[in-house]
Structure 1
Amino acid sequence: MSDILSQGIHNLGVALASVLLVEDDVFTRSTLAAALAGANFEVRAQVGKASDAIQAVVKYSIDVAIIDLDLGPGASGIDIAIALREVNAGIGIIILTSYTDPRVINPHSTPLPKGSKFVTKSHLTDFGPLVRMILELKALPLSGQTGKRSERVNFSATQLIVLQGVAEGLTTKEIATRTGVSEKAVEGTITRLHSMLELPKKPSLNPRVQLARAYFELSGKKPPGA
């Protein structure tokens, strides 16, 4: 995420996304929660058990859940991910694992919910990729679905926030305020998004309406009032 975007949002006091953290190790949980808060994410709850995770999703509006794969005896991170998606069909899922390939735990384990992503704990020393992953899953929680255009698109943090703003019906000025960039930069991003998503260019089609429809298609979310 660019320093300009991060600083702009920090100055506005706007949380980038609301997060649930599920990790049984207290030190790891508190350290990661502090890092997320420092990166302008709102950690709505940090828990160590499956039951507490489900209660948190019922109680709070949460964009992305970050879940440790191995929580000791009982439900695994995959079990919790599936349960959370049943409660909130639009929640993004990130699985933390100590393994480069999590299948080493159980090659025949239950498949993860669509769009779920893995992060190896050893890679958390570089926080940037996790930040970008959270933003991507907030905007497009089901982006791992087969055949979705998002699989061919590598969105930047700014592009994701602009795409969300367009889908919410915000003006260029409002999106610029949210991202901390100029209105001209927002318009340029909208043009690039239109091209990246391979949307048709016709005088009769409104580019913003097209982007909004693409956002709801990719995210699996419903438009307001739908």
Structure 2
Amino acid sequence: MSPLPSNPVRVAVVEDQPLFRSMLEHTLGNTPGLRVVVSVGTVTEATQRITAGTVDVAVLDIDLPDGNGIALGVTLRRRHPRLGILLLSAHDAMDLLLDLPGDVAVGWSYLSKTSGTSEEVLVAAVRAAAVGETMLDPALLARVAPRAGSDVARLTDRQYEVLRLIAQGLSNAGIGERLGITEKSVQNHVNAIYATLGIDVDPQRNPRVSAALRLLEESGPAL
């Protein structure tokens, strides 16, 4: 993962349920390196309060009383191209990330409110979004498998394991620690994954984000 910004990550919380919004404020506001600067419950309030240069990451509930968080995120990203987005939903809606317009598709993460997401995972997702990366809900990823005939299905078991950890926002060092292998071995697996999936290492695009989205695109419910 890219280095974290030296200044606190400024977070906007857009959640219409007061209790859940308060929990998000408390968790994120009490995490070193994060600061909640906006906390609102509607699309209207969010578009008014989230202005250029004031927020680094917007945590958006998908279901809002006057609109939806995805459309709000697209609007905010087009106004503020460096803004990271973390979507939250009570439903399994990860696939919606595949329908994002190409000009705003980088730097979105997704967590389910009902998957047992921990504070640690929430904070990691905010930090991933802050540096333009994608983190998908680990519990939801554990419930999917590659679709038959897809490029993802051509990966070895170890490569698929590494790909899922990439999609969870882990760095090569973090993956190595999780799997008990060297960072060099992880990089070899990553290179093989990119080759199998046809992902170019282009400095203008984040290949880890592309790999995470391919996993999402070419997977379905595990049988």
Q: Which band: TM-score by shorter chain? A: 0.5 to 0.7
Q: Structure 1 stretches of 5 or more lacking a match?
A: 1-8, 145-150, 161-188, 199-212, 220-226
Separation in 2 of the partners of 1:131 and 1:64? 11
Separation in 2 of the partners of 1:196 and 1:90? 30
Q: Contact between 1:114 and 1:143, CA under 8 Å: does it hold in 2?
A: no
Separation in 1 of the partners of 2:45 and 2:22? 16
TM-score normalized by the length of structure 2? 0.54
Matched ranges for 1:15-164 at <5 A: 15=8, 17-40=9-32, 41-58=34-51, 60-72=53-65, 74-101=66-93, 111-112=99-100, 113-115=104-106, 116-123=108-115, 125-141=117-133, 154=166, 156=170
Separation in 2 of the partners of 1:110 and 1:159? 27
Structure with the larger helix share: 1
Separation in 2 of the partners of 1:55 and 1:158? 39
Identity %: 20
Residues 57-66 or 74-83, more deviating: 57-66
Aligned pair in 2 of structure 1 residues 193, 131: CA closer, same or farther (>3 Å)? farther
Matched ranges for 1:166-185 at <5 A: none
Structure with the larger strand share: 2
Separation in 1 of the partners of 2:173 and 2:14? 28
Helix, strand or coil at the partner of 1:58: coil
Give the length in aligned residue pairs: 154
Q: Contact between 1:57 and 1:88, CA under 8 Å: does it hold in 2?
A: no
Q: Give, in angstroms, the shift of residue 55 of structure 1.
A: 2.4
Listed one character per residue, the Cα deviations across residues 140-198 of structure 1 (whole Å, up to 9, x for unaligned) are 25799xxxxxx9683547979xxxxxxxxxxxxxxxxxxxxxxxxxxxx9x99998986
**Larger Rg computed on CA atoms:** 1
TM-score normalized by the length of structure 1? 0.53
Separation in 2 of the partners of 1:28 and 1:37? 14
Q: Over aligned residues, Cα RMSD in angstroms? A: 4.0
Separation in 2 of the partners of 1:97 and 1:142? 16
Matched ranges for 1:199-218 at <5 A: 214=203, 217-218=205-206
